[in-house]
Amino acid sequence: MSWKDNLIKIEPYVAGEQPNKTDFIKLNANENPYPPAPGVIRAIEQFRGGSLKKYPDANAKPLADALAKRFGLNRENVFLGNGSDDVLALCFRAFFNSDKPVIYPDITYSFYPVWCDMLRIPYETIPVDESFNINAADYKRSNGGVVIANPNAPTSIGRGLDFMREILDANPDSVVISDEAYVDFGGTSAVPLLKEYENLVVVQTFSKSRSMAGMRIGYALGNSEIISALYAAKDSYNSYPLDSVAIAAGVASVEDEEYFTATIKRVMATRERLTNELRGMGFDVADSSTNFLFAEHSTYRAKDIQEYLKTRDIYVRYFSKKRIDNRLRITIGTDEEIDALIAALRDYIR
């Protein structure tokens, strides 16, 4: 027996490649190509560095209040963390303490199994259909919790309120997480269902639609008992998650609804253009409710296309996972970036 036998044995999550160069087009991490709202940049520039000697507000109250106001909720319905990854990990810890397996789709955010392994939570995956749709009827079975990314990643497919309602109606005894990282790009949020279902928790992020992936702000919305359980988990681990700069910048972002809406519209317009271009080149492209596309070509292999695009300094995401190993996940960039992508693909697919 050696100390090495007691080291953690886990397969960690692998994020999109961050190449060690500056001049390339990065379409592999679902980041927003546009900067955060001008008020966010101002808030950071005007932040009084001297105030860093103090701990931040423990529960990020100014930002919790701003979000509560935006969603028509109260402060006790909002929980903030360092990106939705942090919030989701705490949700898994706080809500999934049953002996029964947590259930989620086989094709979804690949961090879910990592948290289950890390926290020793039993889980089962439920296959999506051949068009990558999640079938709500498959979630009518005994479980210790349900996690649905809506819109789903990496499939980009969004589902409506009836779908979430069907899952919630079938699972009154489990916490149901709606992971809505991409919902602002045309998806349907489960927030209106919070009043009806006390076991629902909605998780969203500032990383995508608010262009603040580098700042790490995510949040959960739910009834006060759900949110209290999250605070209990957080305060058993790290009582000051959001730093003071993030709180100030986050408030400034929420205050600029106009910029938020305009940026989303821009990304969605580019997404429609790229969808049509790709389909014209022989790609099968799922209808996306996100800031990325999930595409497969009728003759060219996804891995080969990805490798070729790298030689043109364009990075897209490829997963060597069963069922999706001939698909590319392509983040929507600026119009110029997408023009460069289209030109490169035209050169390759002749």
Contact residues for ligand PMP (CB under 6 A)? 83-85, 109, 149, 153, 179, 181, 205, 207, 213, 218
Q: Tell me the sheet residues that pair with 252.
A: none
Question: Could you tell me the smallest distance in angstroms from the CB atom of residue 291 to ligand PMP?
Answer: 10
Q: Which of 142, 91, 153, 82 shows the shortest CA–CA distance to 116?
A: 91
Residue 99 to residues 123, 142, 170, 171, 207: CA-CA distances in angstroms? 10, 11, 19, 16, 33
Tell me the backbone φ, ψ of residue 179, rounded to 5 degrees. Answer: -85, 105
Question: Could you tell me the smallest distance in angstroms from the CB atom of residue 157 to ligand PMP?
Answer: 12
Cβ-based neighbours of 163, under 8 Å, separated by 6 or more: 134, 136, 150
Nearer to ligand PMP, 297 or 317 (CB): 317
Nearer to ligand PMP, 167 or 340 (CB): 167
Nearer to ligand PMP, 182 or 345 (CB): 182
Nearer to ligand PMP, 85 or 184 (CB): 85
Nearer to ligand PMP, 83 or 105 (CB): 83
d(CA 350, CA 348): 6
Q: Which residue is nearest to ligand PMP (CB)?
A: 83
Tell me the backbone φ, ψ of residue 260, rounded to 5 degrees. Answer: -55, -50
Rg (CA), the chain: 20
Question: Could you tell me the smallest distance in angstroms from the CB atom of residue 207 to ligand PMP?
Answer: 3
Nearer to ligand PMP, 220 or 340 (CB): 220
- 315-337 burial, b if ≥16 CB within 10 A, otherwise e? bbbbbeeeebeebbbbbbbeeeb
Question: Could you tell me the smallest distance in angstroms from the CB atom of residue 5 to ligand PMP?
Answer: 32
Question: Could you tell me the smallest distance in angstroms from the CB atom of residue 200 to ligand PMP?
Answer: 17
Question: What six digits make up the tokens of 280?
Answer: 């014209």
Question: Could you tell me the smallest distance in angstroms from the CB atom of residue 275 to ligand PMP?
Answer: 19
